[in-house]
Structure 1
Amino acid sequence: MTNYKEILRLQSLGINNTRIAEACGCARSTVISTLQYAATRGLTWDLVRDWSEKEVAEKLLPSVAARQTYKMPDYEHVHREMQKSGVTLNLLWLEYCEQCRSAGDLPYKSTQFNKYYADYAHKTMATMHLEHKPGEVMQVDWAGQTAHIVDTDSGEIIKEYLFVAVLPYSGYSYVEAFHDMGQENWIAAHLNTYRQFGGVTRILTPDNLKTGIMKNTEDELVINRTYQEMAEHYGTAIIPARPRSPKDKAAVEGTVGVISTFILAALRNQQFLSLRELNQAVWDRLYEFNHKPFQKKNGNRASAFEEEKLFLLPLPGHPFELATWRIATVQYNYHISVDTQNYSCPYEYIKQKVDVRMTLSTVEILFEGSRIASHPRLNGRPNQYSTLEAHMPPDHQKYVQWNGERFISWAEKVGTNTTSVIRLFLNRYTIEQQGYKSCMALLKLTDKYPPQRLEAACSKAFSFTASPSLKSIQSILRSGQDKLPEQAAEKPSSASEYGFTRGAEYYDRRTTDAD
């Protein structure tokens, strides 16, 4: 036992703390704390000279004094703070130390602080809360066992697959049956889960199935593009379980097993004729599962979820819209063709391969990750065109302000035959705009030839064929064939004029010469 009376005596003699520690066989820190306590209580050697060592120890015993001055943390407050994202025990201990210093109290060391918190958590059955923070993680998977429905037409037994999502903190779960485990149903299951929970967790932990995770190795993680888009839309992070590491998603693995027993086993003798009927039965059993009392603590999963729900991230303003991706090549007409429809993009990307993201309402065109065009999705008859003026080359943009009615109105000023040719050009193509270039070229011929000649050329072209082309009309004008009928009217033609045949006079002259 430390001789505290001797420490005071030696200190009164002016001996330094190191020498006092050596003389009394104790640590230098013990000497310092003893002298600090003595100074606090106004104890000096002259005062305790006649006291016994026991009396001095009772006044100055460091262990007793320490226990009296250590500030016990408010572990109820600590536990509440630990449920918040990013909060650690070390951070709370530092805050606790700062509060103690401000109040003049002596704080516990971090090891004792952590030990007392672990004791508190054990007594309040809060060990699960130590592993998972509320609103932090949602774990998802397909159940190994399947449900079944009966086809009403053939009587065939059809497999239905159960999607399971669980919040590890509260144990609250969502289950839904789907026809298959494809990507469309995989995304739909997540959307339905978020809607049911009324919020989003910060982390999403799936298994390594291909509809979610393309590749997951020690060196590389490749997430399915649509799945990643969904996560970005809802503001959550996808952190998949490590391959062959079921402990990474122990909560959902355990819930899958429990649900297989609690739900599927209970429904094994029932017959369902539709997916909707099956899901209604599943949700009825799921309600009982979530409201089933805990065995070792008060409440149930539903009541624990009410506490956790406050920590979920809010849902976005509109639900995620499932998109499909394609690869297309920009053609020379600066359009891509997807699902028999055509969409324009800037002409600078002609012959480039682009990514196409398609939803029910929108088509987006991306080049090297950057969006270069967006269109409302075309539906209905095939081979429609969605064209933006800004995507056209400069020499094509001048035709944008034109339309069929304007071309016909211009042609009517030339003549009926010209108007008929213009109508033919406009109706020749599935898309009217595709005929604008020919219409413009035809009518611009009036800059070089009189309108009367253009009208005559069109009439001449119709005499050759019921479907004349721009090239044939241009040839008629260049050769002057449009003027031939007028020349014939002024001066009747004869075969001898052109020297094609020899007339009677020729033969009469030959006979005379012979004579």
Structure 2
Amino acid sequence: MPNTRLAMRHIKEILRLKLEAKLSHRQIARSLGIGVGTVSTYGKRASALGLCWPLPAELSDNDLEQLLFPSPQLSARHGRVMPDCAAIHLELKRKSVTKQLLWEEYKQAYGDAGYQYSQYCGYYREWRAQQKRSMRQIHLAGEKLFVDYSGATVPIVNPDTGEIRNAEIFVATLGASNYTFATASWTQRKADWIDAHVKAFEFFGGVPEIIVPDQLRSAVSKPCRYEPTINASYQHMASHYRTAIIPARPLKPKDKAKAENAVLIVQRWILAKLRHQTFFTLAELNLAIKGLLEDLNQRPFKKLPGCRLSQFEMLDKPALKPLPATRYEYLEFKLARVNIDYHVEFDKHYYSVPHHLVKTQVEIQASRDGVAIFFKDQQVARHARSQRQGGFTTNTQHMPEAHQRHQQWTPKRLLSWAGTIGPETHAMVELFLQRKQVPEQAYRACLGLLNLAKQYTPARLEAACLRAQHIKALRLSNIKSILQSNMDQLALPLEPQAQASESHRNVRGANYYH
């Protein structure tokens, strides 16, 4: 048989030149630019079949091809046992199983009734060529898990408001057995994407060696044909389950043909069946999907023995790695630079770190309940996660000593300190606190006033506060000015006295204008 089968028009031209023109094999080969051996092979087959030129009108191209190239079953010698090509295809999915090993087992079973190795492999190649294109890839048991979103969504109705929200459908399928998992989530964001993987591993009861996703944002932070950058949260999940992530190349659907086919099957056998149902919760939708998944995975194959479930039990399940002892907890990662106020921002909230890390870069690892901060792979801070946007979570141990002392001040403590100096200073501090809407806004003025007792005697500070209250000069700068000008040592101005002339009806006096 020729190494490469020619197009039918070339075959007919060989037959015409040989049967009608009576040219030699060498002349035909030179005329058509093909090998002499190829011409000889076709000539011998035509002679054996008794063909003549012109060919019968009722002989179609397909009929001619069948005559010249009969199927292996027709050319098989009597008494030989044909290899079970479907069984060969399934066995090759097992680790370390080769065609040589399968042929030796075949020969042990059938002896002289079995074909030799080259014919055995030839029949398998021809069988595989007749299958669907996706069958041409051989996936080893437990090796790859193909994951993707279906693209089609399912509406979920809020029973209270009537608002409709569409749920995304995550699909995962194992390469060797085609055993399929599906679940609904609200979004395709990282948290839902990784949670769907965790549920898939628990559904399969094990972990594959490789995960093959598309290069969507939740999986790949920097898409690339050759070296895509895996999202940090996704990579952390893979490390927890001791698996690897190898994204499909962009615009190369053949890299994830299994996922494409699984998505199509889920849309046909699950989503299409749910199209007339109304769902009010995500849990209700997932319960319906779970029931239809059982039917899908037990549906018999058309060209292969068994079903997805039976193939999973035989191939993938024994080869999957066991689940880790603890379930993965989702973490979100972020690099951040420490601000001058020794806080870092995550999800619009600010968390403190030790003050000596100001202006350095740290890594934030946030779970649903907590926020941990790392510097050079060492944890330097941990806080409960807060949902208050714009707020601050501060550990006083992270503050400089001066800031810690300031943090310890309260209105009660400030008034207590002022009371040790004297009643006028106490009254002035109380006035400072009352004049501000938030007491903390008056802390600096209060501390500035109380620290004046270090420069001046308590008696002078008391006199200055008394004078300031008397003349209604209620600012810290006024009290400083009184002390610096020694006005606190002067007698207080007398209150305006009622004058005798006040009884005159044409003299109004100063109080009239107040």
Q: TM-score range by the shorter chain?
A: 0.5 to 0.7
Counterpart pick for 2:265 among 244, 258, 261: 258
The residue that corresponds to 1:314 in the other structure is 323
The residue that corresponds to 1:140 in the other structure is 147
Does 2:416 match 1:409?
yes
CA contact (8 A) 1:341 1:382 kept: yes
Counterpart pick for 1:482 among 465, 485, 488: 488
Change (3 A) 1:447 1:248: same
What is the Cα deviation at residue 212 of structure 1? 1.4
CA contact (8 A) 2:215 2:223 kept: yes
CA contact (8 A) 1:172 1:302 kept: no
Change (3 A) 1:407 1:154: closer
The residue that corresponds to 1:178 in the other structure is 185
Q: Which moved more, 1:450-459 or 1:415-424?
A: 415-424
Q: Which moved more, 1:352-361 or 1:236-245?
A: 352-361
CA contact (8 A) 2:335 2:361 kept: no
Letter in 1 for 2:485: S
What is the Cα deviation at residue 239 of structure 1? 1.0
Q: Tell me, in whole angstroms, the C-alpha distance in 2 between the residues paired with 1:337 and 1:469.
A: 37
Counterpart pick for 1:453 among 460, 480, 489: 460
What is the Cα deviation at residue 259 of structure 1? 1.7
The residue that corresponds to 2:394 in the other structure is 386
The secondary structure found in structure 1 opposite 2:257 is helix
Structure-to-structure mapping, 1:86-485, within 5 angstroms: 88=96, 116=104, 131-149=138-156, 159-293=166-300, 296-298=304-306, 300-301=308-309, 304-305=312-313, 308-309=316-317, 311-315=320-324, 317-323=326-332, 325=334, 330-331=339-340, 333-336=341-344, 341-350=349-358, 357-365=365-373, 373-380=381-388, 383-389=391-397, 391-399=398-406, 405-422=412-429, 428=436, 432=440, 439-463=446-470, 468-485=474-491
Change (3 A) 1:393 1:307: same
Q: Tell me, in whole angstroms, the C-alpha distance in 2 between the residues paired with 1:482 and 1:119.
A: 118
Change (3 A) 1:198 1:382: same
Give the count of matched residue pairs.
381
Q: Tell me, in whole angstroms, the C-alpha distance in 2 between the residues paired with 1:435 and 1:118.
A: 93
What is the Cα deviation at residue 330 of structure 1? 0.7
Name structure 2 gaps, 5 residues minimum.
1-89, 109-119, 129-134, 497-514
The secondary structure found in structure 2 opposite 1:320 is coil
The secondary structure found in structure 2 opposite 1:165 is strand
The secondary structure found in structure 1 opposite 2:211 is strand
What is the Cα deviation at residue 135 of structure 1? 4.1
What is the Cα deviation at residue 165 of structure 1? 1.2
What is the Cα deviation at residue 267 of structure 1? 2.6
What is the Cα deviation at residue 368 of structure 1? 8.2
Q: Taking structure 1 as the reference length, what is the TM-score of the superposition?
A: 0.59
What is the Cα deviation at residue 207 of structure 1? 0.8
Q: Tell me, in whole angstroms, the C-alpha distance in 2 between the residues paired with 1:431 and 1:247.
A: 67
List per-residue Cα deviations over 1:103-159 (Å, max 9, x = no partner). xxxxxxxx9558537989x99x9x99x944554432210114343445768978764
Q: Which moved more, 1:204-213 or 1:358-367?
A: 358-367
Q: Tell me, in whole angstroms, the C-alpha distance in 1 between the residues paired with 2:309 and 2:396.
A: 54
List per-residue Cα deviations over 1:168-193 (Å, max 9, x = no partner). 24433221223443334323322332
Letter in 1 for 2:169: L
CA contact (8 A) 2:176 2:315 kept: no
Question: Which structure has the greater CA radius of gyration?
Answer: 1
CA contact (8 A) 1:292 1:300 kept: yes
Q: Which moved more, 1:355-364 or 1:159-168?
A: 355-364
What is the Cα deviation at residue 353 of structure 1? 6.8
Q: Tell me, in whole angstroms, the C-alpha distance in 2 between the residues paired with 1:442 and 1:213.
A: 59
Change (3 A) 1:273 1:423: same
The secondary structure found in structure 2 opposite 1:378 is coil
CA contact (8 A) 2:215 2:248 kept: yes
Q: Tell me, in whole angstroms, the C-alpha distance in 1 between the residues paired with 2:416 and 2:106.
A: 89
CA contact (8 A) 1:205 1:240 kept: yes
Q: Tell me, in whole angstroms, the C-alpha distance in 2 between the residues paired with 1:381 and 1:157.
A: 28
Q: Tell me, in whole angstroms, the C-alpha distance in 2 between the residues paired with 1:290 and 1:413.
A: 83
Q: Taking structure 2 as the reference length, what is the TM-score of the superposition?
A: 0.59
What is the Cα deviation at residue 402 of structure 1? 5.5
Q: Tell me, in whole angstroms, the C-alpha distance in 2 between the residues paired with 1:474 and 1:117.
A: 104
The secondary structure found in structure 1 opposite 2:248 is coil
Q: Tell me, in whole angstroms, the C-alpha distance in 2 between the residues paired with 1:247 and 1:239.
A: 14
Q: Tell me, in whole angstroms, the C-alpha distance in 2 between the residues paired with 1:253 and 1:188.
A: 21
CA contact (8 A) 1:140 1:165 kept: yes
